[in-house]
Amino acid sequence: MTLYSKIIGTGSYLPPKRVTNQDLTVQLAAAGIETSDEWIVSRSGISARHYAAPDVQSSDLAIEAAKSALEMAGLQANDLDLIILATSTPDFLGGFPSTACVVQRKLGITNGCAAVDIQAVCSGFVYAISVADSFIKSGAHKNVLVIGTEVFSRILNFEDRATCVLFGDGAGAVIMTGSDTPGILATKLHADGNFSDILSLSGSLYGGHLEGRAFLYMDGQAVFKLAVSVLEKVASEVLVSAGMKASEIDWLIPHQANIRIMQSTAKKLGLPLEKMVVTVDQHGNTSAASIPLALDKAMRDGRIKVGQNVLMEGVGGGFTWGAVLARM
């Protein structure tokens, strides 16, 4: 019997503090930075974002999303045998102990299940899904918790109008399990380190001191141009791999970064905008959390139904990109 992997539960969490464009405009004006709701919306489609409280870490957001996903899946935390967590904002400097291990502890898991972080920035969730799919299909693991979680507000320069208005905090999660019917139909991952300088956090720790930039840097025009190009290509690749046509996609869930990039991808695939799940307006770019946040929203409001085909795709610093085609 052929073994497949399938998504059986989704969950998401946004911290309570909601910051509208108007709120942010007032905050930036106090620092002498001019912006407006119209300026932000016209360039990104973002109207609000959420910020975690100072004592809240990526793992805290992650466990809330994980609990919701476990509940939908009808599983207990100790039913998991693998946790894969995608983040660019781990709980600890240097990334260890891994945030996945922290989540394991906070969920009260006592079965010794494997836990690991994965880093592909905004493509992290797509990468994590692909890794989980391979583990499940190989028979190595059965029930896998995949999480995307970020506290990007911690790495924003609020003197840089071009970036600080775009990002927010949040977490999304899915439960994947072995199945005798197809779930994950195809995945495709890419990276090109030649573009590593257009989106980065280049600071490093040396001798106990920070060297380089402590804040996120982005060349917006370069990222926009590359994202539009690679998202169309990787979507086509994953469709070919699955032996499907774009017309068979029921829902497109792109990385929620910029509404113009998202709309361009849908149009190039020949998909009506009504088939695209959009949540970027309410939480901004939450990096690895953005796709699972949108997926959970569309699952819980009833838009995505059992048996429908969902294409998820993302781009991120590295430069990384990838796509997953799933039958829900």
Phi-psi group of 307: left, alpha or beta (phi > 0 → left; psi -120 to 50 → alpha; rest → beta): left
Which of the residues 21, 122, 143, 283 is marked catalytic? Answer: 122
Cβ distance 246 to 271 under 8 Å? Answer: yes
Residue 316, strand partner residues:
320
Is 122 in the active site?
yes
Q: What values do phi and psi take at 319, rounded to 5? A: -85, 135
User: What DSSP string runs through 273-305?
Assistant: GGGB---HHHH-B-GGGHHHHHHHHHHHTT-S-
Which of the residues 21, 258, 285, 309 is marked catalytic? Answer: 285
Sign of CA dihedral 229, 232, 236, 238: positive
Helix (H, G, I), strand (E, B) or coil at 17: strand
Which of the residues 21, 101, 164, 255 is marked catalytic? Answer: 255
Cβ distance 196 to 280 under 8 Å? Answer: no
The per-residue b/e assignment along 193-222, b for 16 or more CB within 10 angstroms, e otherwise, is: eebeebbbbeeeeeeeeeeeeebbbbeeee
Which positions are catalytic? Answer: 122, 255, 285
